[in-house]
Amino acid sequence: MEQTRTVSWVYDQLSCVWSRGELLEKVKQDRKKRIERRAVLNSAVNEKGYLQDLVYKLSKVGQAIENNDLEAACLVLGKGIDTGWVKTVNLAFTKLFFFLLFFFNSQWWKVETFNSSLASLITSVNKNDRESSKLAFVSSASAFEKWTSLTGLLGHLKGI
């Protein structure tokens, strides 16, 4: 009886040690990925600059919509999604997506959600539709914030 208890105790201790070893290995791998992701984000200076510009534009558009000045929002956004700044932001999203694909399963759908919301925002503002503009702005800002949070960029951009 005593021997059975001892064997059981030893088995429990060994499985605990084995679990600790696996846990330690998992912690090491996670830390390595975090360091690599941080290095990628730190090296993406241009892309972060374009996304910072997006934060600024969204802030200005939000203020304009809040003040019921859709004309000012229209000046910031432009006439459509084929404007230069939208293309530049999408290029930054694409580059960062491929850099960060290693660290995440696939968050591209968040970018597509943002692009769809941004297209709705631009359309609503250009049609002078206040209510739709408000909804599209909230949707755009929320999708962008969610994507930056998932990718680890949230701490790299000011004003979110």
Q: What is the mean pLDDT of residues 114-137?
A: 93
Structure-model confidence comparison of residues 8 and 147, the more confident one:
147
* DSSP notation for 20-65: HHHHHHHHHHHHHHHHHHHHHHHH-HHHHHHHHHHHHHHHHHHHHH
What pLDDT digit, counting tens, does each position of 40-96 carry? Answer: 666 666 788 888 999 999 999 999 999 999 999 999 999 888 889 989 888 888 877
* DSSP notation for 75-100: HHH-SSTTSHHHHHHHHHHHHHHHHH
| Max CA separation in the chain (angstroms) | 85
Confidence of residue 111 (pLDDT cuts 50, 70, 90): confident
Confidence at residue 41, expressed as pLDDT on a 0 to 100 scale: 64
Confidence of residue 123 (pLDDT cuts 50, 70, 90): very high
